[in-house]
Amino acid sequence: MNIIDELKWRGAINQMSDEKELHSLVEQKSIGLYCGVDPTGDSLHIGHLIPFMMLKRFQMAGHRAHIVIGGGTGSIGDPSGKKAERVLQSMEQIHHNEEKLTAQMKHLFGKDNITVVNNYDWLSKIDLLRFLRDYGKLFNVNTMLGKEVVASRLEVGISFTEFTYQILQSIDFYHLLKNNDVQLQIGGADQWGNITAGIDMIHKLSGSDKKVFALTIPLMLKADGTKFGKTAGGAIWLDPEKTTPYEFYQFWLNQDDRDVIKYLKYFTFLSHEEINELAEKVKSCPEKREAQRRLAEEVTAFVHGEKAVEQAEHISRALFSGDVKQLTATEIEQGFKNMPTIEITNDTKNIIEWLVDTKIEKSKRQAREDVTNGAIYINGERIRNLDFVIEPQNNFDGKFVIARRGKKKYYLAKVK
């Protein structure tokens, strides 16, 4: 199937310039295309991932994918999606972010048909007079003001710095066309104005018959109308230090039935047949959540690897069954990250005293009652003995004690 038709089936195209010509071109040959990301942070989150999934599909179809790390554009700030000016980061912080993002991209895209570049390498070499004469002269201010990315900021104001962002992005497209034979730029829906500005500039510099194209993806909303990728706990990051693989897996596992097939089309490389089969299962037996489980497995494996999937599923089974003693200290750090946490010393202590000292129980009377009734579990074992002694050094590398009261109320005690 033509890659354009594939993206259409997956609902992944918002706007596209000269669709017929682009459809024909990708049928005839391997083309160069690119997607960019500015180093405003040291990790991508899943909202950033969406256009890069489209880039990955082109790469897998044999096209030459290019990733632009925006060391130059990131130093001035993209006005899109912002109601006010960005706070400029230090160049030291930007360079740190560049290194982290480059490593993430290389992990996701591998080595075949992929080139990672940094636009600081060419933008930093353009002096002010050359910028104004060679490029600024090609842009009409009235046209720039009409671009949504700028127009949305006019009421509150926009600095000249951020106003020039679309010129710098246009230079990127022109540079990659000349040096890497890149003919297509892809990006989020809010990038349409910037991408088409680049096409206009290229036509002025290289002739109106120059074949260059724009493709944007839709703004992704959940079935309830809210923005995809945001949770009560904040963004879902690709960096395992920011969002653990277990949390990442659980995010996908907990998706709404109304959204899961759309996400399977966007974020996995499953075939049409497999996705259609899962869509039927959502209708016929939604309680089994097979589509959500497959989504969680596929996306977690893509971002973190198969071992992370196995670990996430192992943690999930242990928490569901209550058999937490089988977990490693590393798995406990992932699975209990957002559960109530208390600090304890390494001292041995009677269970009744320990439950009161940790404030898991309000009083010794209540503690004795809960232990006698079998409501207290320590490290996965039900404790009914009032003389039981807590020995922190005996489990989980001496780092943790896991307490549970009732069926689901877990507490993580960390040894200081």
Q: Which of 231, 326, 328, 348 is catalytic?
A: 231
Q: Which of 18, 102, 175, 190 is catalytic?
A: 190
Say whether 45 is catalytic: yes
Q: Which of 8, 18, 40, 281 is catalytic?
A: 40
Say whether 82 is catalytic: yes
Structure token pair of residue 260? 């899961």
Q: Which residues are part of a known binding site? A: 34, 165, 169, 230
Q: Which of 8, 23, 57, 82 is catalytic?
A: 82
Structure token pair of residue 124? 């930093």
Q: Which of 10, 48, 262, 265 is catalytic?
A: 48
Looking at 29-140, list the stretches that DSSP marks H as alpha helix, in order from N- to C-terminal side. 46-60, 91-109, 120-123, 128-130
Q: Which residues are part of a known binding site for ATP? A: 230
Q: Burial-class residue 277 by CB neighbours within 10 Å (0-12, 13-18, 19+).
A: middle
Q: Which of 23, 57, 222, 230 is catalytic?
A: 230
Q: Which of 8, 57, 86, 95 is catalytic?
A: 86
Residues near 97 by beta carbon (within 8 Å), at least 6 away in sequence: 39, 40, 41, 42, 74, 89
Q: Strands (DSSP E) along 119-219, which ranges?
A: 182-188, 213-217
Q: Which of 59, 73, 166, 169 is catalytic?
A: 169
Say whether 169 is catalytic: yes
Say whether 289 is catalytic: no
Say whether 121 is catalytic: no
Say whether 86 is catalytic: yes
Say whether 29 is catalytic: no
CA-CA distance, 115 to 66, in Å (whole number)?
5
The answer to whether 339 and 284 are in contact (CB under 8 A) is no
Q: Which residues are part of a known binding site for L-tyrosine? A: 34, 165, 169
Three-state secondary structure call for residue 273: helix
Three-state secondary structure call for residue 288: helix
> Which positions are catalytic?
40, 45, 48, 82, 86, 169, 190, 227, 230-231
